[in-house]
Structure 1
Amino acid sequence: MSTDCDQTGAEGANSLDAHEIRTWLVQRIGSMLDVHVVDIDTSVPFADLGLTSAHGMRMAAELGEWLGVRIPIGTVFDYPTIDSMARFLSGDSDTSACDAGPSSEADDDIEEDLAELLLLLGDGGGCEPGLDNPEAEDGKEVAE
């Protein structure tokens, strides 16, 4: 079970240093984008690497699970490179992980719901055919 960010800061969340977190991020992003890890520049913004917001949500959820804390989705935008994210999460930056967190319980619930939804959708990031049409059967749209 994850520790809520309100209860523990970046330094209390894990005992990993920035190098270990950077290595995890490079490997995970390489897997997400199907690129070799040596081709990933850790100083380049996530968007320039080709990550979408859906990738960012998935990465925040998986990273949080790995570290044992809930990573607010906004953290990906506040620390938009592998290097800055790794420094922040290891406690090597001027702020704690909680400083970048949502401002209310409602925001927490929305972020958790979005992260769960993304994990349910899987790597494809899309819906099954017919999912938006409740009358569809076997993935085929029903003509109206």
Structure 2
Amino acid sequence: MAHPGSDPITLEELENWLIARVGEYVPDLEEAVDPHQELGEYGLDSVAVVAFTADVEDWLGVQVEPTAVWDHPTIAQLAKFLLEGRDQAGTA
């Protein structure tokens, strides 16, 4: 489901979407994704991260480098970074 790039999005909505995406890339999870736990601890490898960031780009309508996942290693940190970047892209 695409999220139109110009529509407002809340931090909670973005976090929930990111959590759902992680669940798709790591289907063997035995616990719920904690937005404050590092994504690497869930077994997200570099191939999955590239696909994951491509999904984020498609949904948000902004460019996201795969390194953003390692620079902002939790869902909470990544969501905040993405929301700030999206806001800046919208005002540029």
Fold-level similarity (TM above 0.5)? yes
Q: Which SS does the other structure have where 1:39 is aligned?
A: coil
The alignment-based identity, stated in percent, is 28
CA RMSD in angstroms comes to 2.3
With CA pairs under 8 Å and 6+ residues apart, which has the higher RCO, 1 or 2? 2
Q: Which stretches in structure 2 are left out of the alignment for 5+ residues?
A: 87-92
Structure with max Cα Rg = 1
Q: Which stretches in structure 1 are left out of the alignment for 5+ residues?
A: 1-11, 98-144
**Distance in 2, Cα, partners of 1:48 & 1:65:** 25
What is the number of equivalent residue pairs in this alignment?
83
What amino acid maps onto 2:11 in structure 1? A
Using structure 2 for the length normalisation, give the TM-score: 0.76
1:45-94 deviations in Å (ceiling 9; x for gaps): 11111111111111111100010111111111111111100111122xxx
Moved over 3 A (4+): 35-38
Using structure 1 for the length normalisation, give the TM-score: 0.51
> In the alignment, what sits opposite 1:77?
70
Q: Does 1:24 align with 2:17?
A: yes
More helix by share: 2
